[in-house]
Amino acid sequence: MIQLEKIYKWHNNGNNRVFILKDINLTIEEGAFISVMGPSGSGKSTLLNIIGMLDEPSEGSYRFLEQDVYTIKEKQRSELYKQNIGFVFQAYHLIDELTVYENIETPLLYQNIKTAERQAMVADILDRFNIVGKKDLFPVQLSGGQQQLVGIARALIAKPKLLLADEPTGNLNSKQGEEIMELFKKINEEDGVTIIQVTHSEKNAAYGKQIINLLDGRIEK
C-alpha cells in the first residue's frame, strides 16, 4: 500500500543542512497497524505528515496505492488523499464553531456527497461511537476523550483505507487513552483500516502489530 524509498527531509539553517529524516525506506501493507516511536525531534510527526501528504520530503519517492504521489497531478493527489486518508491529532483539532455532527460531516462536504447520504453516514458513525446524544453539542462542551472520539469519527467518516494518528492519546488520561486504543484495534481488525500511529507510550505502542523506532531521522533496525 505504501512504499517510501530514500526519503530525506532537511532544513537549511545557514550553511548547515539539518536533517529531519534520513534515508527512510519503508513498505507498509494494507491492514497493518504500525506504531511509530522515538524521542522528541526524531522525525516521527514529519514522517507521518509525509505519508499523509500534508508535507513533502526534500528527496525521495513515495508510492501510495500503486500511484507515484509526487508525479501525479495535484488534483489527482487531492482525490487520492480525500478518499483514502484520515487524520487524528493529539489536540483533537475540532472546529470550535461547528457542532459534533457538523464536525464529523465536514470531510463529506468536500467530497460532494449528497445530503441524504451524508446524513446516513454521520448517523451511522455517531451510533457506532455511541455519541448520538452529543451530536448537537459544540466541542467546548465535551471532555477531552469525547473530543478525540469525535476527531476519530471525523477521520473515519469518509471510510479511508489509511488512518494516521499523531499521538492520539497524548492529551488524555490513561483510561480514556485505553478506550481509544481499543477502538483503534477494533477498527483495524473489523474494518481492515490500515493504521499508523505516532506515540510516546510503550503501552499504547503495544496495541500495534508492528513497531518502528525512529532516532535522529533514521529507522532503527
Partner 1 sequence: MIQNYFKMAWRNLMKHKFISFINLFGLTMGLVCCLLISLYIIHETSYDTYHSKANRIYRVTRSFNNPDGAVTLKLGTVAPPFGPLLKNDFPDIQKVTRLLPNGKTPVKYEDKLFSESQLFFADENLFDVFDVNVVKGNPSKALTDPFTVMLSEKIAEKYFGKEEPMNKMIRFNNQFNLKVSGIFKSFPSNSHIHPEIMVSFNTLKDSAVYGERQLQTNYGNNSFFTYFLVPENYPVKNIEAQFPAFIDKHVFFPGAPSTIQFSKLTKLEIQKLTDIHLYSHTDYEAEENGDINRVYVFSIIALIILLIACINYMNLSTARSTLRAKEIGIRKVSGAGKGELVAQFLSESVLIAWIAMTLAIFIAWLILPALNKMAGVELAAAMLLNWRFLLPLLLVPFIVGIVSGLYPALFMSSFQPVKTLKGLFKAGGRSISFRKALVVTQFGISIVLIITTAIVFQQLRFMQQAKLGYSKEQVAVLPYYFTSNSQFETFRNDLLTKSYIRSMGRSSRIPTGRLLDSQNASAESGDSLQSVNVELKYLAVDHDFIPSYNISLAAGRNFSTGVSTDTANFLLNEATVKALGWPSAEKAVGRNFSYGNISGKVIGVVKDFHFESLRQKIAPMVMSLPKPEQANFFNALSIKIVGTNTTEALAEIEQKWKTYLPGIPFEFSFLDDNYNKLYLSEQRQSSLFTLFAGIAILIACLGLLGLSSFAITQRIKEIGVRKVLGAGTGSIVLLLSKDFLILVLVAALIAFPVAWYGVNRWLTDFAYRIPISWWIFAAAGIMAALIALLTVSVLAIRAANANPVKSLRTE
Looking at the DSSP assignment, which residues form a beta bridge with residue 215?
218
Closer CB to partner 1, 22 or 82, in the complex: 82
In the complex with partner 1, the residue whose CB is nearer, 27 or 67, is 67
Question: Does 135 contact partner 1 by CB under 8 A?
Answer: no
Q: C-beta of 28: minimal distance to partner 1 in Å?
A: 20
CA distance 51 to 165: 11
CB-nearer residue toward partner 1: 134 or 154: 154
Assign 3-class secondary structure to 68-107.
Answer: ECCCCCHHHHHHHHHHHEEEEECCCCCCCCCCHHHHHHHH
- Binding partner 1 (rule: CB under 8 A), the pick from 154, 156, 177, 207 is 154
Ranges within 86-105 binding partner 1 (CB under 8 A)? 87, 89, 91, 93-98, 102
Is residue 49 near partner 1 by the rule CB under 8 A? yes
Report if residue 9 touches partner 1, rule: CB under 8 A: no
Measured between alpha carbons, how far is 16 from 14 in angstroms, rounded to an integer? 5
Told to check if 121 binds partner 1 by CB under 8 A, we report no
The minimum distance between CB 3 and partner 1, in angstroms, equals 22
In the numeric block, which cell numbers belong to residue 7?
A: 526519503
What is the rounded distance in angstroms from the CA atom of residue 71 to the CA atom of residue 145? Answer: 39
CA 113 → CA 80, 105, 108, 163, distances in Å?
16, 10, 6, 20
141 binds partner 1 (CB under 8 A): no
Residue among 10 and 89 whose Cβ is closer to partner 1: 89
Rule CB under 8 A: is residue 84 a binding residue for partner 1?
Answer: no
Q: Is 54 among the residues that bind partner 1 (CB under 8 A)?
A: yes
Number of residues that bind partner 1 (CB under 8 A): 23
Of the two residues 97 and 190, which places its CB atom closer to partner 1 in the complex? 97
CA angle 146, 199, 98 (to 5 degrees): 30
Question: Nearest 5°: CA angle at 81, between 78 and 85?
Answer: 160
Query: What letter represents residue 162's amino acid?
Result: L
- Judged by CB, which is closer to partner 1: 20, or 207? 20
Decide if residue 171 touches partner 1 (CB under 8 A).
Answer: no
Q: Which of 86, 112, 219 is nearest to 164 (CA)?
A: 86
Contact positions vs partner 1 (CB under 8 A): 49, 54-55, 78, 81-82, 87, 89, 91, 93-98, 102, 106-107, 109-111, 154, 158
